[in-house]
Amino acid sequence: MPVNPDAVGTTGDPAETSWTTRDTLLYAVGVGAGQDPLDRSELPFVTENSMELTQRVLPTFAVVLPDVTGALGAIGSFNPVMLVHGEERIHLHREIPPRGSVSTVAEVTAVWDKGSGAVVEITSRSVLVDDGEPLFDVVMSAFIRGEGGWGGDRGPSAVSEIPEGSDPDATLTWSTRPEQALLYRLSGDRNPLHSDPSFAAMAGFDRPILHGLCTYGFTGRALLRELCDSDPARLESMAGRFSSPVFPGEDLTVQIWRTGEQRAAFRTLGGDGRTVLDAGVATIRG
């Protein structure tokens, strides 16, 4: 079993990542923003020169910025084909600027034994280089098939906060495009699982699948619109668990339940009604 459970607590060296206005615009298009040319609420995310608007950044852009390779290398070797995204959580300390640089320290915060595989959790904390103040934290977990079974702690299970038996307070459906994964990969995740049919077949799929973080970005757009009036400064945190792969071209339906004045539960459904992102929780600044 190559995955090392004793890697918990290992941190990587600080790693700097920079981005430009082009990167933030491309990310927004990669998660489906701007498909409606008459929708001015998304123009700040996909243009930098629209009349009477200033460019702004989708909060979920935070997921593409942290460099976690140092921490990830500490867990040992494994077959990358066997890795699937488990959960993703972001906490925004403030609004992300259209251009800038962050310094990120990533830490292995958990390695859990799920029997059929291992779950590895990495927490990254990023500060804006310009002022040294926190900008966002990102917690991601990955399930690595075939790497469990050493008798370790199974870890917690995701719990949904959706009120049982209640209808959602808001439902929004976005359409993904057949080439959506090819657009999204230009923001940094070049995993061939999302572009190469031969590689996808090795992982058991009949065609490339959409990045889980692309689905996450589509979902974040819905939360931003329904809970924050499209103001990225108001989204404080967003967390969810990936439960089923999505294929480019599918519709994504986001269901949202307001569970408090500044808190909401959500889930995202695929085109056939199956849940693809669940146990979702978002918090909002007043």
Q: How is 68-117 classified by DSSP, letter by letter?
A: -HHHHGGG----GGGEEEEEEEEEESSPPPSSEEEEEEEEEEEEEE-SSE
Q: Is the pLDDT score of 53 beyond 80?
A: yes
The amino acid that residue 83 corresponds to is L
The structure's pTM equals: 0.95
pLDDT above 70: percentage of residues in the chain: 100
- Give 1's pLDDT tier (boundaries 50, 70, 90): low
Q: Which stretch, 99-108, 157-166, 197-206, has highest mean pLDDT?
A: 99-108
- Count of the separate structural domains present in the chain: 1
Task: Give the per-residue pLDDT at 26.
Answer: 98
What does pLDDT average to over the chain?
Answer: 94
**Known active-site residue 189:** yes
Which member of 113, 137, 194, 278 is catalytic?
A: 194
Q: Is the pLDDT score of 219 beyond 60?
A: yes
- Note down the domain range covering 27: 5-284
**Known active-site residue 272:** no
Q: Is the pLDDT score of 228 beyond 90?
A: yes
What is the per-residue DSSP string for 43-64?
A: HHHH-SS-TT------GGGGGG
Which member of 189, 211, 229, 272 is catalytic?
A: 189
Here the CATH number for the domain that contains residue 219 is 3.10.129.10
Residue range 93-101: average pLDDT?
98
Task: Give the per-residue pLDDT at 170.
Answer: 98
Q: Which helix (H) or strand (E) holds 214?
A: helix 212-228
The number of residues in the chain equals 286
Alpha helices (runs of H) in 86-196, residue ranges in sequence order: 180-184
Q: What is the pLDDT of residues 164-184, one digit of tens each?
A: 999 999 999 999 999 999 999
